[in-house]
Each structure stands twice: as C-alpha cells, then as structure tokens.
Amino acid sequence: MRTPAIDLRWERWERSDGDFNDLAWLDGPLEAPLVVLFHGLEGSARSHYAVSLMQALRARCWRGVVAHFRGCSGTPNRLPRAYHAGDSAEIAALLAHLRPQAGAAPLYAVGVSLGGNALLKWLGEYGDRAQSYVARAAAVSAPVDLPAAGRALDRGLNRLYAWHFLKSLKAKMRQKRAAHPAHLGHLDLSGIWSLRAFDDRVTAPLHGFRDVEDYWTRSASKPYLRHIAVPTLIVHARNDPFMPSAAMAGPDEVSPAVTLDYPATGGHAGFPCGPFPGRLDWLPQRLLAYFEQTAGLSRNTPGRPKCLVPAGPSGLNIGCADVSLH
C-alpha cells in the first residue's frame, strides 16, 4: 500500500510566542479552493493519508496545505510545550493565519485522528463564528470519546501501535528535557510503557491539565458536536481498533450540520480499496466529493481552475466501503 511521494513547498510560520509551525503547501491556481489538513498523533505531510489527499487535490487543481502541529515537521519546536488532542486554540490560530491566504476561494478543513478531534472541538466551541473561517469541514477516525479511545489503545494488539507512538513521543520529550532543563529537568520518563502513562506524566501537566483523566475528559470533542454550525462530515470505520463503535457519536449527539458516515470496514484512517495490498484513494475521494457537492461544484462545472497537470479519474468509487449516511 505504498503511496508515491508528492513535492510540497515548505513554509515556516513564526508565532508571536517565539515558536513556529511548519506548513507544507501544494500550490495551485489562486481561485482554486484551499484544503488544510490537520494530521494525527506523530503524523506529518509524509503520512499516507496526507500524501493521498494532496495527490487527489493536485488532480483537481485545488490547493492544499498540511498544517504541522508543533514539533511534528521533523524539526523540534522551540518551547517546552508540544501539542495535544484538545488543542482547539492551535486550530483557531492556524485557521486565522490560513484564511486570508485562501483569498476569495473557499477554505475547507480536514482533521485526521488526533487532528480530527481537535478540529471538531474547535468547530463546536466556535459555533456560528466558525463559518467565517471555513466553508466545510471533515474529520476522519477522530477519537471523539478520548477516555474510551485511551482505554482501547492499552489493550491487546493495540499496544503494538501504542508502543510505536511512545517510542517517538519519548524521544522527542528527551530532546525537550535537554533543551529546557529549567522547565523539564525534573521529568522522569522511566517506567512509561503506555500512552495513558505518558499522557498522565507528560502531556497533561505540560499543557495545564490535572492528570490524564482531566486531559482526556476536557479534550474530548463529543460534547461539542451538538454545537457545530459549519457543514461537517465525520468519517469513521466501525472496525476502527482505536475506538469502540459503541463510543462513536450517534445521530442524537450531533447538530443538524453534521453528516455521519460510518463504513463497516476501513480500520484507523486507512480505508484501503481494491485487491491486496489495496489503494488509498477512497478516503480523499470521499472527502473531496463532500466538499464539491456542498459547494455546488462538480468536476464538469464550467469555470473550474485550469490545470497544469492531468486530472485524475472522474467520479467517486464508493463501492470500496459500506457507507451509511446520516
């Protein structure tokens, strides 16, 4: 399931607090829509879902940007703080920075996994105000019930995935501890063998939470879904190993602006399609079809931006997932 790389233009946005966010841009016609992607835990522009989405955008002659959370671009950020699943203030700052760069074209936002939860939380917090920033939004495999997702990650084979994340998170935190001994010199990373333990000892206190339960409870986006005003698509596979299907948001837990799409299969942020090992084009096509439909666009609409690269296959192959809509 190897996805070919795509060339992006990298830009460093210097923040007023002395830190920075790295932005990876797919350039295109100025009149084309702009899609911003908020990645998942330890994700980046190199993540398979980011590459697949940028490829689909290029085929449509749309613009795209991967907004890296602090420390996720391959270069350590400057401050002791990092990023977390409930960081809606970071979403707000990034969208406020990117909205003018969209110009007169619509700005669409996509969040995957951790980034999806943070985006949904921001959408709920901002309510009607969010419509001045984004025209449409989508969240993929978002752990809207963080306590349930956290418990699931510490069980069975999920612990292998958790160990992969922990290895990267602990390495970054050791770098931070060396760079900020006055703030983090006391931090003890020994004996941390689960994401719950890492969030309890590191993520929570580093970002102003009392402990892991306080962090997970206050950061979960599920209570905010009723307040979303921007048309928003939530895509989540029922067999996602990182969050039990019983914890997924039901129709009575979301606002009328939210569309729930829960395929039976797809795993976590994967949704492979076709013969083994599969293609990863179903998800980006699903997202962009939603944006096109709600914006009143189609691939044959007169006046679409002229493209300098060949357009991809037209139409949405919906047959690769058992899709149910609300």
Structure tokens at 11: 């830009």
Identify whether 132 is a catalytic site residue. Answer: no
Q: Which of 47, 52, 88, 113 is catalytic?
A: 113
How far is Cα 290 from Cα 59, in angstroms, rounded to an integer?
16
- Which of 87, 145, 199, 240 is an active site residue? 240
CA gyration radius for the chain?
Answer: 19
Report the distance separating Cα 291 and Cα 258, nearest Å.
13
Amino acid letter, 205: P
Give the span between the Cα atoms of 160 and 149, in whole angstroms: 15
Told to judge if 240 belongs to the known catalytic residues of this protein, a careful annotator would answer yes
SS (H, E, C) 24-56: EEECCCCCCCEEEEECCCCCCCCCHHHHHHHHH
Asked whether the beta carbons of 279 and 272 are under 8 A apart, the reply is yes
Question: Where are the strands (E) in the chain, listed by range?
Answer: 9-14, 20-26, 34-38, 63-67, 107-112, 136-140, 232-235, 258-261
CB atoms within 10 A of CB 315: 9
d(Cα 222, Cα 41) in Å, to the nearest integer?
A: 18
Backbone angles phi, psi at 148, to 5 degrees: -65, -40
Closest CA to 262 of 287, 226, 237: 237
- Catalytic sites, residue numbers: 113, 240, 268
